[in-house]
């Protein structure tokens, strides 16, 4: 590749606008979905507001984004509503400031004093909206809180202290959990009450801040590593933050007049809607798309596959996933158009323009399985349906967390990414299994972990019986032979 300039405001046009939106998270999804929506809002002329990006964890990309003045290239490819192949490439320029609260906590808190700031958006994964005991006792003025709700609480406290009542924010969490807006509000109040914060501030959280639940839908494979050199040649610059996503998008938000006024994404010709009830849309999307993504990863990855499309070109993997959706997932989804949505999802997974790495989906797989797939298993059992495929996926997930797979006859390490607590717990389980060879003990402890699943699954005879069979089959026969045996049951 010939020498090309780094993308920056010296290379491409960079607009500015009042910073009205604080975004917790700098990952591929937010940049390919929410920031794209904000770009479209600004380009429409009906909205003027840019973004400050906050890095929610000690590691992240705000430094890399800042080096390019917040500019990056988004490439959307897929099939449009007319059935035609489309490629939409655009420069995103709505990111204006970048804050790492672990390095510069004062700058983060200072945004709490901004009268321009109106909106909070976040995507900190399913594990991000949680009550963190360590945040109860720290000094919110001088110490960076551990959790996302802790950081948001500190920001809102600074806002309340400096601006007073009447200066709340519109808060739009995009984490894929049920009632994410209500859940975030609940955690904020729990944390504030545990800290003994005054009633005036609690009223500010309850009444002045406005929370709305959301559903987001776009497959985002992320950084186009294989195409990077040719794309840089095409664009005429080096862009280390470029991101690729599918053309399809849907954003569903619960009606909330305060939020709608300050984040009018539904008014600029996008597939973005405010509705009275997000639940039907969320159940359909999370169970069919996200649930099948989560169950697919360990099954396909242990077979040596690395991408979603590649996995579904394997006839046995395709048969497994189709069987799961049709026999176990769809009977639990009570939304109009669920069958069509499921068919469209399988087509989206086979999008030839999207190279979606299984490992990018595998981040925090244990909490994802709990939120996305476990409710389907429980509903299946209540309906008298055997959740064979989903429990097979859970057994595959347990084997996946051994941290090893065999590909092309060679053993290789799996780069597991989950919370330190989950990774340490799984490491202890495997250490004990290697010492004793006692699979029953492993099964009891894994399924019985309330830290993993919020309940003791080992007490459920259906789950335990199926899991024990499939876990042993995968370890004894190997992933391919075990899947073949499963499909011929």
pLDDT over 90 at 354, yes or no: no
User: What is the reported pLDDT for 420?
Assistant: 93
User: What is the reported pLDDT for 157?
Assistant: 98
153-181 CB burial, b ≥16 within 10 A, e <16: bbbbbbbbeebeeebbbbbbbbbbbebbb
Query: Percent of the chain, pLDDT > 90?
Result: 91
Terminal Cα-to-Cα distance of the chain (whole angstroms): 52
Q: Which of 2-11, 327-336, 478-487 has the highest mean pLDDT?
A: 478-487
pLDDT over 80 at 126, yes or no: no
User: What is the reported pLDDT for 443?
Assistant: 98
**What are 169-196's pLDDT values in tens digits?**
999 999 988 899 999 999 999 999 999 9
Region 358-372 average pLDDT: 94
pLDDT over 90 at 428, yes or no: yes
d(CA 223, CA 240): 8
pTM of the model: 0.80
User: What is the reported pLDDT for 81?
Assistant: 72
Query: Percent of the chain, pLDDT > 70?
Result: 99
**What are 197-214's pLDDT values in tens digits?**
999 999 999 999 999 999
User: What is the reported pLDDT for 214?
Assistant: 97
Q: What is the mean pLDDT of the chain?
A: 95
User: What is the reported pLDDT for 177?
Assistant: 87
Task: State the DSSP code for 290.
Answer: I
pLDDT over 90 at 315, yes or no: yes
pLDDT over 60 at 1, yes or no: no
As given in the structure block, the two tokens for residue 316 are 């046995």
pLDDT over 90 at 127, yes or no: no
pLDDT over 80 at 32, yes or no: yes
pLDDT over 80 at 50, yes or no: yes
pLDDT interval class at 51 (50, 70, 90): very high
Region 456-475 average pLDDT: 98
| Phi, psi for residue 371 in degrees, rounded to 5 | -80, -35
Task: State the DSSP code for 138.
Answer: S
- In residues, how long is the chain? 489
User: What is the reported pLDDT for 353?
Assistant: 83
The residues, any chain, with a CB within 8 Å of residue 346's CB and separated by 6 or more, are 312, 321, 322, 325
Region 349-353 average pLDDT: 88
pLDDT over 90 at 477, yes or no: yes
Q: Which residue has the tokens 């909330």?
A: 256
User: What is the reported pLDDT for 351?
Assistant: 86
**What are 387-427's pLDDT values in tens digits?**
999 999 999 999 999 999 999 999 999 999 999 999 999 99
Instruction: Specify the 3-state DSSP secondary structure of 280.
Output: helix
Region 292-310 average pLDDT: 97
């Amino acid at each position: 590749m010939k020498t090309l300039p780094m993308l920056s405001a010296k290379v491409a046009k960079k607009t500015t606008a009042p910073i009205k939106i604080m975004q917790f998270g700098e990952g591929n999804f937010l940049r390919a979905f929410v920031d794209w929506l904000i770009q479209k809002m600004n380009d429409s002329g009906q909205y003027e507001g840019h973004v400050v990006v906050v890095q929610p964890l000690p590691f992240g990309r705000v430094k890399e984004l800042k080096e390019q003045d917040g500019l990056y290239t988004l490439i959307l490819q897929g099939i449009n509503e007319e059935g035609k192949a489309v490629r939409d490439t655009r420069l995103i320029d709505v990111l204006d400031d970048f804050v790492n609260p672990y390095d510069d906590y004062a700058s983060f808190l200072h945004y709490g004093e901004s009268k321009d700031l109106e909106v909070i958006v976040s995507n900190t994964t399913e594990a991000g909206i949680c009550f963190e005991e360590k945040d109860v006792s720290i000094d919110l003025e001088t110490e960076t809180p551990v959790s996302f709700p802790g950081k948001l609480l500190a920001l809102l406290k600074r806002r309340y202290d400096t601006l007073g009542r009447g200066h709340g924010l519109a808060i739009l969490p995009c984490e894929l959990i049920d009632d994410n807006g209500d859940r975030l509000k609940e955690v904020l109040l729990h944390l504030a009450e545990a800290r003994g914060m005054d009633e005036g501030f609690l009223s500010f959280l309850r009444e002045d801040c406005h929370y709305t639940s959301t559903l987001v839908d776009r497959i985002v494979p992320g950084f186009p590593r294989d195409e990077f050199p040719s794309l840089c040649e095409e664009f005429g610059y080096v862009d280390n933050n470029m991101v690729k996503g599918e053309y399809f998008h849907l954003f569903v938000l619960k009606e909330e007049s305060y939020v709608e006024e300050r984040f009018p994404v539904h008014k600029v010709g996008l597939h973005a809607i405010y509705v009275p009830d997000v639940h039907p849309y969320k159940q359909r999307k999370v169970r069919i798309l996200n649930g099948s993504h989560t169950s697919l990863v360990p099954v396909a990855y242990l077979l040596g596959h690395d991408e979603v499309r590649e996995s579904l070109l394997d006839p046995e993997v395709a048969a497994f996933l189709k069987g799961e959706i049709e026999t176990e997932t769809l009977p639990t989804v009570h939304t109009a158009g669920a069958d069509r949505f499921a068919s469209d999802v399988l087509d989206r997974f086979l999008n030839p323009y999207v190279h979606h790495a299984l490992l990018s989906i595998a981040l925090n797989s244990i909490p994802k399985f709990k939120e996305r797939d476990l409710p389907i298993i429980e509903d299946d059992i209540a309906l008298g349906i055997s959740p064979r495929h989903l429990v097979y996926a859970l057994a595959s997930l347990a084997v996946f967390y051994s941290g090893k797979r065999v590909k092309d006859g060679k053993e290789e390490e799996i780069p597991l990414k989950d919370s330190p607590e989950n990774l340490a717990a799984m490491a202890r389980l495997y250490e004990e299994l290697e010492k004793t060879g006692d699979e029953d003990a492993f099964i009891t402890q894994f399924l019985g972990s309330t830290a993993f699943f919020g309940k003791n699954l080992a007490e459920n005879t259906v789950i335990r019986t199926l899991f024990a069979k499939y876990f042993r089959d995968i370890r004894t026969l190997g992933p391919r032979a075990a899947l073949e045996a499963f499909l011929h049951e």
